[in-house]
Amino acid sequence: MKNNSLTQRQRKLYNIIETYIRDNDSSPTLSELMEEMGISTKKGVAFHLDALERKGYITRTGGSRGIRLIKDMSGQFVPIAIIGYANAGEPLIDAQEEFIGEIMVEEKIIRPRRKVFGIELRGDSMNQRVMNGVKMDNGNYVIVAKDVAINDGDVVIATINGSATVKTYHRKGDMLILSPESDNPIHHPIYMSFDTDLILGKVITVLDNPAHQG
């Protein structure tokens, strides 16, 4: 399944393309998109176009005006608050809410869940876990639901000694195991006595963060 969610930057780019095609009966060039987006390089524009194509919103046929729209953007988008950071590594980041921005997410992704929030990942202990086509890598966003059942193998946000961490959830009897999924061998499972109060929520989707994509 492809990740249907767009960042604010990606949605802005889509809207520029949509308006340009409607007004001109052709798609904009990279240079025109650079100017409209305030991006200094064609490579920067191409990165966002790659994201739109990967998520199924556009296709490119070649040529300077080869962008085609293939997905309706009329669906309802809602803002999700990014309330802090969680470590995809050792649990070193304090689990305190700190509003750091918003990200626009298609409403159908979170419906009927209403108690959701966003977290920015720090670290690489989950960089081999892919959800909706996006890796849980350093800098990316995870959307977390507080009102859903958590099953073995789900990814959760947990607190350990007041610090937040993102790990894969396993339970064996009275033991809670928070496991990494990483290509970095320094990361190891965390074993602790089971306590539901330790679990802040379940990760339901992952979103690219263009600021961390080079």
Q: Which comes out higher in pLDDT, residue 144 or 148?
A: 144
Domains of the chain: 8-69 (1.10.10.10), 77-209 (2.10.109.10)
**Is there a contact between 18 and 2 (Cβ–Cβ < 8 Å)?**
no
Strands 77-87 and 116-122: parallel
Within the chain, what is the greatest distance between any pair of CA atoms? Answer: 64
Interatomic CA distance for residues 52 and 57, integer angstroms: 5
Q: State yes or no: pLDDT of 1 exceeds 50.
A: no
Q: Is the model's pLDDT at 134 over the cut of 80? A: yes
Task: Convert the pLDDT of each residue in 154-208 to its tens digit.
Answer: 999 998 888 889 999 999 999 999 999 999 999 999 999 988 788 989 999 898 8
- The reported pTM is 0.63
- Residue ranges in 41-106 assigned as alpha helix (H): 42-54
**Each residue of 28-84: pLDDT tens digit?**
999 999 999 999 999 999 999 999 998 888 988 888 899 988 865 555 677 888 888
The beta strands (E) that lie in 11-152 are given as 58-60, 67-69, 77-87, 93-94, 101-106, 116-122, 130-131, 134-135, 141-145
